[in-house]
Every structure is written in structure tokens, then in C-alpha cells.
Structure 1
């Protein structure tokens, strides 16, 4: 299905585009037809999921393909513990449909509005010292390459292409189906509590090792931080819909949204509001099935930069970040999110070859973020940082190839699978130096 474009923007509004045409295919054949038409006419296309990338990775001024009409489970293989799903399936829907089969993904991030293809293409992750990114759960992909060929790709059939496709920033082909390695549905007990940031940093390694999931949020110019722990449990799931809605949606979004509006109007109030927010970190626990517990509502718009760093330098980086903030007095009140992820062997995964920590900084929409992000990025880069592909950063191909050992191998595969460059846009072209 094709429709005339009316303009497109990503979730935060930081990127806008005016595609010549928008297409919502309802079959693999329609995707093949679109790719071949672009090849014949010398046009380009990009695929968009939910627009949750903060960069222009999905932007197109030509053909923009949305896979929103390709959603749901294609088939389940109980013997192998896998399921093949349409690439446009949103993570929230995916969790619910898998649960209907008694299955679940082993880990997820903290929002569930992305499509599964978008999540793996940008290296989306959750937290867990022994758990990898969502891309590590992928065991098979069906892709329409830039040559218009339908490629069924597995580690056995095409080992190099598979490693490139697991995190591909949409530059190798249009992913139409994803096969995931799954596990039986399970419950988690979630615990949230406050802890002084200095104590948290001292205990972070221990907390990461002793809990299936550990992450923490620390607030600029404040001492208390929030730590979140999740572990598997046999306890029955709770039923507190009204209470959870008040806490997760009204308090964490509406109230914080009002405070954020004050910061935008009166930037110098940011440090005081950061300290106020830290003092009101929610304390409590709840039990629920995993797909209902990983994600939280994110209604407040912001811009974000996130970097992967070696796990063993998380603490010195945060200490340097705090020192820089105290010296520069940036007008920022959003907490900094810190998580752990297991290393992997995926070519463009920021976690390639190392157990990792991820540190994410945010700025409320409409507030200047450039100086703040630049100062934080300088720190990340000194410690071997690699940017998250869906988050803001300033690196080009010359600096990225120094940080990704398989960079040139990925560029070679891109040239093989998209010889005509129809899957490029100016942002990806510059990123890969094509």
C-alpha cells in the first residue's frame, strides 16, 4: 500500500523529513517490488519502525517504508524454542503474543514501542551482566537485499552476512521476518529503592553480579540515586493496576513533565529540580510477568545520547562526569541511566568483544543539549566509548572504524548486498563513508 507523504518526524522531533512517497507493504512480494522499482529508477529508500532513534538514521526524502502492516507471529517452533515474527511487530504486541504461547524473550529494554526490526538494527539493549542485546536473541533473518533478492540468513547458511545483519542500521536490506531464540514465560520481582550515589558506585559491581538485572539512575547535582533490581521469582503476579498507573504514569510522567516545563522556562532551576526529583525516587516492589515489567511509560519527550564503555570503567567515568557537571553547571535535570550488558560477537554491536556498561544522558525537549552532550561525549571517548546507533553522537566513519574491529568487513558486506546504494540516506552515507 502506498500513500502520499505529509512529512515525517522522529519521536523527539529532533529529525524531520519530507519523503516523496510512503509505503506500507502487506507482503514480502510488495517489498521486493518496491526495492526493484527503486533500482530501476535510481531512487533510494529507508525503512522506519517507530521513529525512536534520535538520529537521522531512518529519515528519507524519497521512499519511506513502514512495516506497520507486517506484524504478528508467523510460526512457533516449540521443539527448538524459537518463533518467527514479522519484522514490523512492536515489542509490546510481541510480548503479549509470545506469552499466549507460553514463551518470552530473555531480556528487553525499558520501552516496548519499537518494532523488533528497528530494535535489533540499532543495537537496542536492556540490562543484565550475563545478558546480551536484543540482537543476540536473533537466530535467523529474512531480508530483501538491495539487489531485490529474498535472503533467508542464519549463522549456518551465511555466517558473515548474518553477523553484519544482526546490527545493520538498515544499510544491508529490508528485514521482513525475524526468528528469535526464546524461553518459557517467567515472572520477575522488581525492586526500586534510593541509595546515595557514592554508595551505589562502591556496590555497583556486586549488585550487577548478584542480580539478574541491575540498573541505576543518578541525578545531576544530587546525592540520592535510584537503583532498580529484577530477579526471577515464583511469587504470584500482583494486581495493582490503579496504583501502578498512578506511580508509573502520573507521578513519573505528568509530575516530572511539569517540573521539566519549569526547567525549560527557567533553566537555572534545573539543579534544584534535579535534587527534588532525586529525593522523590519511588521505593517499592512488585511481581509481574517479564514482558509486562521490563518496559515503563515514556511520555515526556527528550533528546538522548548513549555510549557503550567497558564495564570495568563505569565508575571512573561517572566520577569524571560528576566533576565536569559541578564545574560547568549545565542546566540539566534529567537523570543519567546506567546499565550493564554482556559482550557479544556482532560486528556493529557496541558490545562487540567486551562486557559493557551503557551510560545514557538526556535533555528535555526544547532545552539546548549540545554543550552538555559534547562534554559528556569527550569523557566517553577517552575511555573507549562506542555510540548507540539510535542515539545522538558526533562520530564519523574515520573515528568509528577505530572503535569497531569489524568495521571494514561490515562495509564490504554492505557493498555486496546493496551494490546500487538504494538503502542509503545522507546520514548513513556519511556514517559509513560510502
Structure 2
């Protein structure tokens, strides 16, 4: 008997920006149970379904008012080949757990983002990425995908066996079927050294070429109305694990979360102090170094909740876009104190990846949960769009199919593959129908 919750009143994502009332929530424990859900609820019952990972998308990409499928019961490693540095893992495996399981066998993923609570399939399917101008998104590490399609069939795909379907599946927004297993290309476990420092934003922008080329990972956070930004650098190291637990606790728990949460609460009650709080936050960003295994360095604790919009841009657009963003902030006087996160990612050939065909800059704009964000995000989005921006699929944006098809050369072909995999639209919610133009 499949575990389920019937007539649940409400489901919400991490930030609270999306609320849904699914009639059924299913928690399959096996591939056969996934097949049963598709056949019973979709093929026989005529319902649509969406699959949810950790609810970290800010858009309704995972929301469903009919059937919601959680893959939390499908976690862990299915098989591993240490010599070839590959592993088949269950699609619902959370990145934090996956990192530890792989490390036990002496392996690691080549790159991750700064949040490790997502499922591997959810992170892959929405184009989630980390930083590193020579490194692609998480989806680029996937070399095999097992999926239950809209006909209730279990199918396996690789780039060699089915190149077009595979490229559509790597970033598919859950519209081609329920991904149940993924095969990952890995590498030996490695240590990363991490450095956080403060730098004048003007100096950071001037030194971008050196910072990008000189580090395996480079990102920076600039604070609205402040001249100081936080620069984060990560590089492979032969050094042993080094960490000061007291210092790490003070910097990462007390300053970046507890204190920042208190300051954010003040901004919500008294929005006019946001610019002052932003400058205070910029001047108190941690100056620190440490080293640890990669999966433990990539992840950053996030207890202060927010809403977010993030766009992919051509790599060379970063400085010009930031200049326009700062001018807009000065003109509009937005009440915002959250930093803007800026990263670089390598080009890929995945059809719906925002980094398709171009080395990319990513800019993520945040607003503290409970504070008005729509006008702020709207103005920033218009700047991004002028530079041929493509939205991160899991972050807020306003684009629909007519806009998106102009930005993705393989948009039409993706739609054709999607129709083959799910001819009856069982994996299409009203939101996805509008997004894809179905």
C-alpha cells in the first residue's frame, strides 16, 4: 500500500511564496510504486502530478493542487564504481547526505551550490549551479537518467544511447516524467580551502578578470547602498582540515544568521533603516579562512528566509549590469538590505540550461521574507532582460513561453521530446502549461 496523505489542507515552499492544496501526496519507496502512481492517478484517474524535492524553488514549479509526489523515500546510493568514479543514486537523495555517502567511498561531486538540502534530481532538473568559470551546473555531472514517463514505462537514457532525450532530461523541470535514478560522473574526494574577505566593490569589479581566472571558485556579495562587498574564494588544497569551531560558530551561526535575522526583522518593521542596515552588514561580513572536504565547504547555513530572483547573463555583462542595478537602486530608493550574489558558471549544451551555449554570469537578488519585493524584482528583471538574461527556473521571474522561446535555441525541440514522453500532459500543472505554452 502506498503511503499517502489525503485531503491535505496546504503545502508551501521554503520561503512561503507558493501555497498549494494537493488532493493527494504520495511517498513512493520503490520504482514499482512510482509506476503505480502514474498508472493509477494519471492514466486511470486523469489527474496531473508534480514531483517535489525539498521545496526550495521560489516559483510554483513543483506545486500541485491534484497529486504531489515526494521522493524522500527514494534516497541513497544504488551502486558505485570507485575505479571509474561513477555512482547511480536515488533521485530523492539530498545533497548533504549524498556528499557524506560518496565521501565514505573516497569520491565527491566536482561542484555544488551553497545549499545542500535539495534533492539531486530537483537540483539537476532546475539548473541549480555553484560557482566556478570552468565548471558547469549540477546537471552537467549527470551521465545517466532513469525515468518513469507519462505512459507508465521505466526508461533509461544516456547521451550515447538517446542523445536528444538525454539533453532534454538533464534540465526538464519535471515535465518529461518522474526521474527515479541518476548516474553521476564523480572524482576523488578533495579538500578545498575557503577564504572570505572584504573588498571595495569598485576594486572587486576592476579585478574581476584576475579573481575569475585565479581561483577555482570565486563569488562576491555586494550590499545595496554600501561600498564594501564580501568576496569568497575556494581552491583545491593539499593542506589538512583546518577549522576553528568557535570562530566558525560566531561567523556563520551568530553573525551571518542570528544577528542578520534580527537586523532583517528590524528592516521589516522599519523599512526606512534598510540602507543603514545594509551598510552595517557589509562592514561586518566575516574575514576568515578554513579548509575541509569539498562537500562540507560548499554548503552554507541559511536560516534567514527570503524570496529570490536570479538571472543568467553573458559572462562579460557583469560589470555593466551591476552599474545599472546600482543606478536603479539610487533612483528608486528601494528598502532592501539583503546582499546581491554574483557568480560565474561555464557554458554547457543542455537544452533548457540557462548556461546553454555561453559562459555565464549569474546575479541573484534577494528580499527578506515579509517585505515587499515585487517592484524591486521587476526593475532588476528589466535590467537583466536588456542583457539577454535567462531566468533560473527555480527562482522568481515573470517570463512566459513567448519570451522564453526567443532565449532558448532548442526550445521547440524540447517541446517535441516532452510531447513524446508525456503525450497526455500528466506532468503539466496550470503553471507549467503557461510557462511552456502548452
Corresponding position of 1:17: 20
Residues 14-413 of structure 1 aligned to structure 2 (within 5 Å): 14-37=17-40, 38-413=42-417
Deviations 1:113-136 (A, max 9, x none): 000000001000000010000000
Q: CA deviation at 1:246?
A: 2.4
Q: CA deviation at 1:22?
A: 0.6
Gaps of 5+ in 2: none
Alignment size in residue pairs: 434
8 Å CA contact 2:82, 2:105 repeated in 1: no
Determine the C-alpha separation between the residues in 1 that align with 2:261 and 2:79. Answer: 41
Matching of residue 8 in structure 1 with residue 3 in structure 2: no
Determine the C-alpha separation between the residues in 2 that align with 1:191 and 1:239. Answer: 12
Determine the C-alpha separation between the residues in 2 that align with 1:20 and 1:245. Answer: 42
8 Å CA contact 2:82, 2:107 repeated in 1: no
What secondary structure sits across from 2:50 in the alignment?
Answer: strand
Report the TM-score, using the length of structure 1 for normalisation: 0.99
Deviations 1:390-427 (A, max 9, x none): 00000000000000000001111110000010101111
Determine the C-alpha separation between the residues in 2 that align with 1:78 and 1:189. Answer: 25
8 Å CA contact 2:256, 2:285 repeated in 1: no
Deviations 1:63-116 (A, max 9, x none): 100000100011001232100000000000000000000000000000100000
Deviations 1:298-347 (A, max 9, x none): 00110000000000111100011011101111000000000000000000
What secondary structure sits across from 2:114 in the alignment?
Answer: coil
Q: CA deviation at 1:239?
A: 4.0
- Note the aligned Cα RMSD (angstroms): 0.7
What secondary structure sits across from 2:220 in the alignment?
Answer: strand
Determine the C-alpha separation between the residues in 2 that align with 1:239 and 1:370. Answer: 40
